Structure 1
Amino acid sequence: MRAKKSEDKKNKRSLEASGFYSDFEKPDCLYAALVRSPAASGKIKDVTISSLPDGYYLYTHKNIPAAKSIQINKTTTKIFGYDRISYQGEPIGILFGPDEQEVQKLLSQVSVSFDIESLESALHNVINSKKKPTTNSTLNENDSKNNHNDAEVSDFVDLINDMPSLNDVLDKSRIEKAPTVEVASRIVKYGIYEKLSPEEADKKLFSEANENGTSRTISESSWQENFVIPKWQETEGAACYTDGEEIHIYVPSCWTYLTQTTIADVLGIAQNKIFIHKTKAAEIYRTGLSRTSQLAAQVAVASYLSKKPVKLVLSQREQEEYMGPGVITKFKYKTAVEPSGQIFAMRVDIDIDIGISNPFAQEITDRITLAATSYYKPQNLYVSTKTHTSKTPPTSVSIRSIDSQAFFAIENEMQKISSQTNVFPDELRLVNSIQNKKQSKISPFPFDIPIADVTDTIKTVIQKSDFNRKYASFQMEAADRVERSNKAFFALPLRGIGVATAYVPSEYNGKSFFYYDSKIEVTLTTDDKLIIHTIKPSSVVQEIWKNTAAEILQIEKNNIIIDSEFDIEELPETPEDSYSSIGVLNELLKKCCIDIQKKRFHQPLPISSKRGVQPSQRKKWNKDTFTGVPFSTTSFITTIVEVELDTYTYNEKIKGVWVCADCGEVFDEAAAKKTLRLEIQQELAMLVKGKSVSCDFIDITFTSSNNKSGQVGGLIHNSLPAAFSSALSLALTTQLTEIPCTEDLLFKLTKKRTKQENQGDRE
């Protein structure tokens, strides 16, 4: 019996994260560094080092015991690069030993040999680019044959000395032969765009005169939000050791199933010999998906073959260059607006660069497309999203911030429209949150975002911040400054205020690689202990669950246990943080507890109850037409930021941040406010490169609604950057089109504005 229990325990895997992998310590632990390709393309022949001291190792793809690559959603990822190189910096080996500094020294001695085809191509490119034409002054017909040979040798020596680096010329033809490939796309048409071609519709819609003879405002803008990796976060990596036939890996994985199966395939061993110890992952731009599993496999190969503990910690430079969060997304908006502020037509062209690969390209494409118009309902809409590859490192996806770039773009577009039409920002948002009645009778808007009435949330924070008075005052001050002086800066600080709205969705109903199939199992045991079996949430949510269950079943909170251990055969196949929001899981927990309460006095204990998301919910979204209700529920936020810009140092200072959120039923308001306050402080460190913006005042308010409880996390990230850039744009009287900004960018924008004013004065 004991043997069976021990065997059962060995087949269990915990999905609870604890500690940090970088704190891993074992006697005789070896420190690792990745060998990376020095070239962007070419065919690798070998990776070698002239001599390795005792106790140091170098492994490449040739040393991998079994599978040398993994397949994720039809995307192939090599554990170590081999054959054709995909991008500069691709990992092609791992070097490790007992001294970390010595490992770094040895790293520079590693030799990467390329196939002769690549070298001939490189030499051919050099000779073609460097060869000088022969002239009469160079070679005289009367020169002797020896002199002619000496000249040739001298020229060849000069040619060799003048050669550029191999990386500059290596296999250039192959880079040209590997253009970007479109891997995903999504097009949304509404209104006139459903009947005419985009070009014909544009010609008809974007004319300044409307049917009533009054003029429309036409706005054209481009927007981009770049992700900044916080310096305080632990960089990616993994630690590993072997214990007999077993192998233990400490890694900040958010996808235990993938990490487990990847290592099993790469090492060619049974899954029950592999133990994944989940460590804490980054809270901002959390990844922990395919790239983390690749890192874990690289370290596992090193430890498994050497039979030594091995730890790999990426440097900050490696983290920024090769493990950047999200994708590079560029938005181009063209908008026609009626004098009332109603958006008559909106065209959005979105370009997404996923690097050399991304297994989640279609998911990213669809989610960004959905968020590109937020909750606004233009009378005519065309959205074209195209996702392509490039010769840059592969990208991943942070499920929690997958659509934040789109909110940055649309909210800045709304702010620009407000300044052009002189419609107050809050009024502009409210008038466009409701579909035109006449058009709604003809055709419903394609997206029905489940958001409660936004009016209360917007008006509450507008009043608390005194937004409209400040906005009008700062706008008049900026206009007066432009009219009276060509100098953009005075001794007094420049002031601005901006507003942005956004939502955070839960339970995407569309076709998705991350199947959002939230499940929960609750068991009441014979000794009146309640076991909740699901992925363990944050400590705050755990308390909410315990309070909910204790109230329904009338048991002590101390008797409630949240169990996150799963049998190997039952590990969730999707990433852990793709599982539902607090609201959805809390509803499932309530149903389980009510079911147990009904049975507990009629059936012997133990009693179990299982619940999951109803399939009918997903039927509300038509994946073929890309229309309907895309999410189960949402949280909504309005954020206002007031800024002050020093006219001498270009230093930004935030005078205040006002937030009003509608998260449905808030189970613990104090904890929710604490979460938002922490997110604000974290976000302030990512608005300007190289520094954290100071903030004098933060005010947080919640409004109640009949919505299901929604996510609190992510609301600030989806709204604060746009509010900040809008405020700075007002202060500078010129549009800030990308985040994060720099002092140099602010200086250039100011000079550009001054130049425009000077030209206007001359005219």
Structure 2
Amino acid sequence: MPKAGERRRAVPKKKTKGAQGQISFQNDFYSDISVEGMLYARIVRSPVPSGIITSISQGDLPDGYFLFTAHDVPGCNLIQTPLGKVPVFSEGNIAYCGEPVGILVGPDEKELARLLQELQINYDANSIESYLEPENPAGIPAAQTHPAENGSGAIEHVSASSLFSSKIAERKIERGNCFLPDQNGVVPGLESVFTSAATVQEGTWAYAVNTPYNREPNGALCSYDGTKLTVYTPTQWLSNLRKVLSEATGIDGTDIIVNKTRACDHGTNSIWYNAFIACQVAVASYRTRCPVKLVYTREEQQKYMDCMQPITISHRTALSREGKLLALQVGIEVNAGSSNVFIREIIDRLAIAATGCYDAENVSITSSAFYSRNPPSSIDQQLIDSAAFFAIENQMNKLCGSSGFTPAEIRLLNLTEGEYSARNAPLVLLPKAKETIDAIIARSDFNRKYASYHLDNITRMRQKGKETQIISYLTPLRGIGFACGYEGSCYYGSEVFSSDQSLTVTMQADGTIVIQSPPISRSIQEIWSKLASSILGITQSSVSIDSHFDAGNEPLLPEGVYSNISIMTQLLKKCCESLKKRKPDTKLPFSVKKKLSAAQKKAWDSAEFEGTPFHSCSFAAATIEVELDPCTFREKIREINIIINGGKILNSTAAESNIKLAVQRVLTSLVEEDSVECNNIKIAFMQSEENPTQIGELVYQVLPAAYTEALSQALGCTVSTLPMQSNSLYKLLQEKEASEQKQSKKQSTPPAQTAAATPNADAQAASDAQPEPEKTEEAAHHDDTGNA
């Protein structure tokens, strides 16, 4: 085994195409690749969430085993990101429990695990910030020793009082006449709208749904031979990977060979932090001159890559007697953990989606993100909007209980219109939204089932006495939920979005067509080849995809995040039409490049936060019918109906298959460490000749809200948090019954006794008139029986 610094060239055991180029796409998993003389690696992590690392006691490592820390980074250890500098390895000041402080490498994985357990990390419990506080003058450091964090056990989260340590980004939106001066020059303000409204409803919703995947954990294999650095990793952001690697190692970007392996994780951490993982491995390879492979354990993947901190959204909504939304006041709080380079975009996207598909006359939204001493929060970049839709759709459903309108009625009355106005900025165009809602209501028989379950719930609540209370739960509890939402494609406000997003198509001398694009799925390949062949009059076998890029020419955008199939399909169509119009004597090969115009990006004004934020939108409506077993308190989904308008569906079979797969993934994420099953899933698409739009993530926007709405109706109380625990439904029923018993005792107390026991009888009577939090909706159900 060579010593650190000794030069040794790595030779792959298996041949991989594109190895001589600067970048190649491979169908292999990086964890399956082995090279001669390869060392294995494990990350040494901080055992505490805060403090200052003073030293790492490693003893005498066996021959061939090495520990590298921030001092061994050959280039720059602090990498610049949109939110400031992020270290490859912690330089001492601990940001969160589990933060990488070094990398341990050696030839045997079992021996590495043993050595990792024996490492002792010495640290000062006082953080740098504590020494800077004047009321806490620096004294003798409280030095402590702790075994290194190795990825096992629970993360030590900070207390609730200090969960959000500092605000890092905020977006405020105020729209509507109440924010403008009246004839007397006085600004009425939002409170004046709530005071005069017929119905006011409040709700707070917590969302932390993280769709599980049985996927390969993150990691990398790096080999440095003294001149070239070869990297195998499931990167999703090629240009960023090369930039970060070059900055951390000091190696010129042209000397870095990237072999992109298969990737199936689209969380924000996997998109941006994968480059830092590659840097950690590259540092070890640089120092040992040996190929080094790091594969995260399943536990590390879940704790440090897929961890999503809850997003909390509070709503206060005012409704007129006619069912029109008079005001929406929304507060959004996002725990970013220690860092998230996409956080500004995340809070902007949440602010845009906060009003859902609805147009309120007055809107006030505050969307904020906070640092905390927790691992970086990871949010699937394609599913950012789902938290906002979960909150607004449940809030609309809650309004039904206190206003007498059905879920379908209140939504149809407030759908965003297709015309731009000052009050509904930002404008999201919803294709055939009313027709889609009408279709889902008819297909699922929603109105009849909703009224039936509503009346059944009221009957249960009106039963008095212990005996009838027991009888009322002998039959299954049923409910039905409805939700709608949109999926926006190509967000123009992205900090890394470029109007240079493009596609190149080349006609070769033999008449074949080559499309230069990152790897796409087989179904998309079939769609593209069919589209190109139909326009150009050639066979589908004459169309191929080229996924090889030279250094510096790789896609600038993260894979599958800002570029999307709907846009690229339109660009492909334009390229093929231009090729068809070329002159007969044009010399071949002949290439055509089309890109998204800068004028399209100007449709969205990021500074004023108004305009059209997306290139295109698709729309979906869904219903879920549930049944709860009164013995086990477990839910069973009787039926799921989904209708989608995504423009012209180019391959209906593949589209339906993908939607059903997405449904199953959502169902596995609704209950922690458990899954909900449904064998009766019905998918339909609205007929349209419009350009195809992205539909792959629509299910995530509508199913979670429809699920909790159905449970809320079945239980007779509000379900406000996802994911749920396996015993959540039982606890909710217990809390509901306790609340009802408390209210019943209040109502049965004689007036004379109340007056004698309370100094201010009028004040007590007014207090008793206020319903319990869960009773608000229930009391409204009593009053709205006839309207159901």
Question: Does TM-score exceed 0.5, indicating one fold?
Answer: yes
In structure 2, the CA distance between the partners of 1:379 and 1:516, relative to structure 1 (3 Å rule), is same
Matched, 1:415 2:397: yes
Q: Is the 8 A contact 2:47 2:146 kept in 1?
A: no
- Letter matched to residue 746 of structure 1: L
Q: Cα deviations across residues 416-450 of structure 1 (Å, max 9, x unaligned)?
A: 1122222111121111004599xx88x45212212
1:183: which partner in 2?
168
C-alpha deviation, 1:26, in angstroms: 3.1
Q: Is the 8 A contact 2:225 2:290 kept in 1?
A: no
Q: Cα deviations across residues 26-73 of structure 1 (Å, max 9, x unaligned)?
A: 344333221111222222232230121222221111111111121122
Q: Cα deviations across residues 449-489 of structure 1 (Å, max 9, x unaligned)?
A: 12212111111122111111111111111111111156486
1:228: which partner in 2?
210
Q: Cα deviations across residues 179-231 of structure 1 (Å, max 9, x unaligned)?
A: 72322111111113422799962331112x45xxxxx1110000111133526
- Aligned equivalents of 1:705, 1:741: Cα separation in 2: 37
Q: Is the 8 A contact 1:256 1:575 kept in 2?
A: yes
Matched residue SS, 2:315: strand
2:368: which partner in 1?
386
C-alpha deviation, 1:664, in angstroms: 0.5
Q: Is the 8 A contact 1:240 1:310 kept in 2?
A: yes
Matched, 1:470 2:470: no
- Letter matched to residue 471 of structure 1: Y
Matched residue SS, 1:240: strand
Matched residue SS, 1:569: coil
- Aligned equivalents of 1:755, 1:9: Cα separation in 2: 67
- Aligned equivalents of 1:671, 1:366: Cα separation in 2: 32
2:463: which partner in 1?
484
1:279: which partner in 2?
261
1:730: which partner in 2?
713
1:138: which partner in 2?
none
C-alpha deviation, 1:688, in angstroms: 0.7
Matched residue SS, 1:678: helix
C-alpha deviation, 1:178, in angstroms: 12
Matched residue SS, 1:289: helix
2:180: which partner in 1?
195
Gaps of 5+ in 1: 1-7, 123-127, 129-159, 168-172, 211-215
2:728: which partner in 1?
745
Q: Is the 8 A contact 1:514 1:575 kept in 2?
A: no
Q: Which piece of structure 1 moves more, 607-616 or 68-77?
A: 68-77
1:592: which partner in 2?
575
- Aligned equivalents of 1:295, 1:31: Cα separation in 2: 14
- Aligned equivalents of 1:28, 1:80: Cα separation in 2: 25
Matched, 1:754 2:737: yes
Given the alignment, which residue of 185, 204, 211 partners 2:192?
Answer: 204
- Aligned equivalents of 1:753, 1:449: Cα separation in 2: 39
Q: Is the 8 A contact 1:345 1:381 kept in 2?
A: yes
- Letter matched to residue 106 of structure 2: G
In structure 2, the CA distance between the partners of 1:196 and 1:99, relative to structure 1 (3 Å rule), is farther
- Letter matched to residue 181 of structure 1: S
1:369: which partner in 2?
351
C-alpha deviation, 1:176, in angstroms: 11
Q: Is the 8 A contact 1:11 1:272 kept in 2?
A: no
In structure 2, the CA distance between the partners of 1:327 and 1:282, relative to structure 1 (3 Å rule), is farther
Per the normalisation by structure 1, the TM-score is 0.86
1:13: which partner in 2?
23
C-alpha deviation, 1:723, in angstroms: 0.7
2:293: which partner in 1?
311
Given the alignment, which residue of 576, 582, 591 partners 2:565?
Answer: 582
- Aligned equivalents of 2:125, 2:604: Cα separation in 1: 54
C-alpha deviation, 1:74, in angstroms: 4.5
- Aligned equivalents of 2:283, 2:225: Cα separation in 1: 14
1:33: which partner in 2?
42
- Letter matched to residue 761 of structure 1: S
Q: Cα deviations across residues 223-254 of structure 1 (Å, max 9, x unaligned)?
A: 11113352623222222334563332222211
- Aligned equivalents of 2:58, 2:200: Cα separation in 1: 62
Q: Is the 8 A contact 1:600 1:607 kept in 2?
A: no
1:140: which partner in 2?
none
In structure 2, the CA distance between the partners of 1:370 and 1:308, relative to structure 1 (3 Å rule), is same
Given the alignment, which residue of 607, 621, 624 partners 2:590?
Answer: 607
Q: Cα deviations across residues 144-168 of structure 1 (Å, max 9, x unaligned)?
A: xxxxxxxxxxxxxxxx9xx99899x
- Aligned equivalents of 1:392, 1:454: Cα separation in 2: 40
Gaps of 5+ in 2: 1-17, 132-136, 149-157, 748-788
Matched, 1:687 2:696: no
Matched, 1:64 2:73: yes
Q: Cα deviations across residues 537-561 of structure 1 (Å, max 9, x unaligned)?
A: 2221111111111111111221212
Q: Is the 8 A contact 2:122 2:146 kept in 1?
A: no
Matched, 1:86 2:95: yes
2:5: which partner in 1?
none
C-alpha deviation, 1:661, in angstroms: 0.3
- Aligned equivalents of 2:722, 2:236: Cα separation in 1: 27
- Aligned equivalents of 2:630, 2:232: Cα separation in 1: 49
Q: Is the 8 A contact 1:451 1:634 kept in 2?
A: yes
Q: Is the 8 A contact 2:40 2:294 kept in 1?
A: yes
Q: Is the 8 A contact 1:641 1:723 kept in 2?
A: yes
C-alpha deviation, 1:295, in angstroms: 0.8
Matched, 1:558 2:541: yes
Q: Is the 8 A contact 2:328 2:364 kept in 1?
A: yes
2:434: which partner in 1?
455
- Aligned equivalents of 1:514, 1:180: Cα separation in 2: 30
Matched residue SS, 1:587: helix
1:150: which partner in 2?
none
1:132: which partner in 2?
none
2:240: which partner in 1?
258
1:4: which partner in 2?
none
Q: Is the 8 A contact 2:492 2:604 kept in 1?
A: yes
- Aligned equivalents of 2:26, 2:723: Cα separation in 1: 31
C-alpha deviation, 1:310, in angstroms: 2.5
Matched, 1:617 2:600: yes
Given the alignment, which residue of 184, 191, 199 partners 1:217?
Answer: 199
- Aligned equivalents of 1:645, 1:476: Cα separation in 2: 17
1:108: which partner in 2?
117
In structure 2, the CA distance between the partners of 1:436 and 1:109, relative to structure 1 (3 Å rule), is closer
In structure 2, the CA distance between the partners of 1:31 and 1:597, relative to structure 1 (3 Å rule), is same
2:152: which partner in 1?
none
1:669: which partner in 2?
652
- Aligned equivalents of 1:553, 1:575: Cα separation in 2: 31
- Letter matched to residue 311 of structure 1: K
Matched residue SS, 2:560: helix
Q: Is the 8 A contact 1:193 1:382 kept in 2?
A: no
Matched residue SS, 2:552: helix
Per the normalisation by structure 2, the TM-score is 0.84
What do you get for the CA RMSD once the two structures are aligned? 3.0
Q: Cα deviations across residues 99-149 of structure 1 (Å, max 9, x unaligned)?
A: 323222211211223369879x99xxxxx9xxxxxxxxxxxxxxxxxxxxx
- Aligned equivalents of 2:609, 2:213: Cα separation in 1: 39
Q: How much identity, in percent, do the aligned residues show?
A: 34
- Aligned equivalents of 1:748, 1:178: Cα separation in 2: 26
Equivalent residue runs for 1:117-128 within 5 Å:
none
1:701: which partner in 2?
684
2:407: which partner in 1?
425
C-alpha deviation, 1:620, in angstroms: 1.8
Q: Is the 8 A contact 1:58 1:95 kept in 2?
A: yes
